[in-house]
Amino acid sequence: ANILVLQGPNLNLLGSREPEIYGAATLADIEQKLQQQASQQGHRLEQLQSNAEHVLIDRIHAARLDGTDFILINPAAFTHTSVAIRDALAGVAIPFIEIHISNVHARESFRQHSYLSDLAVGVICGLGVQGYELALQAALAQLETTSL
């Protein structure tokens, strides 16, 4: 399968950014693990981090035509602000899992609303960077059942 991993704003700072909340792993660490997990099981994974809303939206649009089967997305702060990313995901109708490293429900109240969650296949939050691996595992399992 073709999996697209999208990482939103400030996630390029992982490792040094508020480590008491987000942990010590860097974005490169996460990307390497996911890549390994996917290729070991014979799947293709493409990954993109951007601080720009339109770059994420354009990539979501392109996914409609490039054979992307599933999207894993940590929309970061855009989770709580972006009707545009919501509309893009709804527009391409590709199944996706929403991931948050931190438990957004245990933090500021503005983090407790997501513009994406009701469209997502599922949401993983608060499990640290392990959430990415669990999301990939869940996506691959889901694709296997739907292609049977």
Q: Is 118 annotated as a binding residue?
A: no
For 2, 6, 69, 145, the CA distances from 63, given in Å and listed in that order, are 10, 11, 8, 21
Compute φ and ψ for 104, nearest 5 degrees: -60, -25
Q: Is 54 annotated as a binding residue?
A: no
| Closer to ligand DQA by Cβ: residue 1 or 136 | 136
- Taking the complex as a whole, the smallest distance from the CB of residue 5 to ligand DQA amounts, in Å, to 13
Q: Is residue 115 annotated as part of the catalytic site, yes or no?
A: no
Q: For residues 134 and 148, what is the distance between their CA atoms, to the nearest angstrom?
A: 22
Question: To the nearest whole angstrom, how small is the minimum distance from the Cβ of residue 28 to ligand DQA?
Answer: 16
Identify the active-site residue in 100, 113, 115, 132.
Answer: 100
Alpha-carbon distances of 29 from 11, 15, 84, 123, 147, rounded to whole Å: 12, 9, 29, 22, 31
Q: Which is nearer to ligand DQA, 1 or 49 (CB)?
A: 49
44 among the known binding-site residues?
Answer: no
- Give the binding site for ligand DQA (CB under 6 A): 10, 74, 76-77, 79, 100-102, 104, 111
Minimum Å distance from CB 98 to ligand DQA? 9
Q: 136: burial class by Cβ within 10 Å (0-12, 13-18, 19+)? A: buried
Residues 6 or more apart in contact with residue 103 via CB below 8 angstroms? 125, 126
Let me know if 22 is a catalytic residue. yes
- Pick between residue 71 and residue 76 the one whose CB is nearest to ligand DQA: 76
- The answer to whether 102 is annotated as binding is yes
- List active site positions: 22, 100
Annotated binding site for substrate: 74, 80, 87, 101-102, 111
